[in-house]
């Protein structure tokens, strides 16, 4: 069998149980991925299928399922995983039919056609001016983001406490050179002047105890916020926000942050179970939504760019 040319995605660390959050009626729903494996290779397989899936090429439900099944078969050549193809196909159907919440106008991945999406959008951000840092500007360090986080992230934000994680000697790395990466999905929602753009990042991370039944309530919005805060994902989400902000500033005529920047969605795929996905305070389980302020995104963009970002 052909071996993958690229390394598998390492976004699969198991996270500790965050407690049982159940829907309003007390119902507990088993994750559609409860019987599927964990690991970086599985994560890469799922990413690849979602990258190549094209809802516009599916005439009906049967055609959509057949397309996903075919993509699973094709991508397993590159990402060999021992699993039940039909179970994964059904889980991905559910993922793609899960409402993405208010920031995305409650659309679904299946309703975002090719004309409205960019998959695997790569970016490269010069840090500290890249190889042309102004000699009059002192080199910033990643830990400086903690100060900006405290200034611009309100206390009631679910990720407010992440500043304490950033304010640590481990984040004393100098911001220099270039930061490159890839956005799983950039997509647009709305029409005309109301059209806005979001980043979606796919996570196949298992939240909770692997020895216990895997229920969707592990992906309650509060549980996801706790899981995000114990990982590097908040910093990653901020970097993605800066990348999207710069991209839109360059490509969107008349760009205005408040109107065109929609935010970031972390899609914990194991918690997404279709149209019947539970909702808490308007937010579907499995979909962590965050929209940092314009002030924070611009301040961090300036910091990355080698400018002195005061406040």
**Domain at 47, CATH number:** 3.90.320.10
Annotated active-site residue 201? The verdict is: yes
Give a yes or no: residue 198 inside a domain: yes
DSSP 39: S
Give a yes or no: residue 208 inside a domain: yes
Residue 103 neighbours by CB under 8 Å, 6+ apart: 198, 262, 263, 265, 289, 291
Decide: pTM greater than 0.85: yes
201-229: per-residue pLDDT in tens? 999 999 988 888 999 999 999 999 999 99
Strands 117-127 and 177-189 come out as: antiparallel
Give a yes or no: residue 87 inside a domain: yes
Identify which of 292, 304, 300 has the alpha carbon closest to the alpha carbon of residue 258. Answer: 292
φ, ψ for residue 282 (rounded to 5)?
85, -5
125-169: per-residue pLDDT in tens? 988 765 666 565 567 899 999 999 999 999 999 999 999 999 999
Q: Percent of the chain at pLDDT above 70? A: 87
Give CA–CA dist 177/132, Å, rounded. 9
Token duo for residue 184: 């799983």
Give a yes or no: residue 2 inside a domain: no
Expressed as residue numbers, the domain containing 229 is: 40-304
CA angle 243, 244, 249 (to 5 degrees): 100
Strands (E), 218-258: none
Give CA–CA dist 253/178, Å, rounded. 27
Give a yes or no: residue 295 inside a domain: yes
Evaluate whether 189 touches 262 at the Cβ level (below 8 Å). yes
Pick the catalytic residue from 116, 201, 209, 258.
201
Give a yes or no: residue 281 inside a domain: yes
Give CA–CA dist 268/95, Å, rounded. 9
Give a yes or no: residue 83 inside a domain: yes
Strand partners, 287: 267
Overall domain count for the chain: 1
Give a yes or no: residue 223 inside a domain: yes
């Amino acid at each position: 069998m052909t071996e993958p040319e690229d390394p598998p995605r390492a976004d699969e660390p198991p996270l500790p149980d965050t407690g049982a959050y159940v829907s309003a009626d007390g119902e507990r729903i088993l994750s559609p991925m409860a019987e599927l494996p964990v690991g970086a290779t599985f994560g890469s397989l799922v990413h690849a299928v979602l990258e190549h899936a094209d809802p516009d090429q599916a005439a009906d439900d049967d055609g959509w399922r057949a397309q996903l099944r075919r993509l699973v078969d094709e991508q397993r050549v590159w990402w060999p995983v021992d699993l039940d193809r039909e179970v994964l196909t059904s889980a991905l159907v559910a993922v793609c039919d899960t409402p993405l919440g208010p920031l995305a106008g409650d659309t679904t991945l299946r309703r975002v056609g090719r004309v409205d999406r960019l998959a695997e959008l790569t970016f490269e951000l010069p840090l500290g001016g890249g190889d042309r840092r102004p000699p009059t500007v002192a080199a910033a360090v990643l830990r400086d983001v903690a100060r900006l986080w405290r200034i611009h992230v309100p206390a009631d934000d679910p990720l407010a406490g992440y500043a304490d994680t950033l304010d640590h000697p481990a984040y004393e790395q100098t911001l220099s050179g270039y930061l490159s990466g890839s956005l799983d999905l950039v997509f647009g929602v709305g029409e005309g002047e109301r059209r806005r753009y979001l980043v979606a990042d796919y996570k196949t991370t298992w939240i909770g105890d692997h020895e216990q039944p895997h229920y969707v309530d592990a992906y309650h919005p509060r549980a996801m916020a706790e899981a995000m805060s114990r990982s590097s994902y908040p910093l990653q989400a901020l970097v993605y926000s800066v990348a999207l902000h710069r991209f839109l500033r360059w490509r969107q005529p008349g760009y205005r942050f408040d109107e065109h920047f929609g935010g970031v969605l972390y899609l914990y795929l194991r918690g997404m179970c279709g149209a019947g996905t539970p909702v808490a305070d308007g937010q579907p389980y499995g979909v962590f939504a965050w929209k940092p302020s314009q002030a924070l995104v611009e301040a961090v963009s300036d910091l990355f760019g080698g400018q002195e970002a005061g406040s």
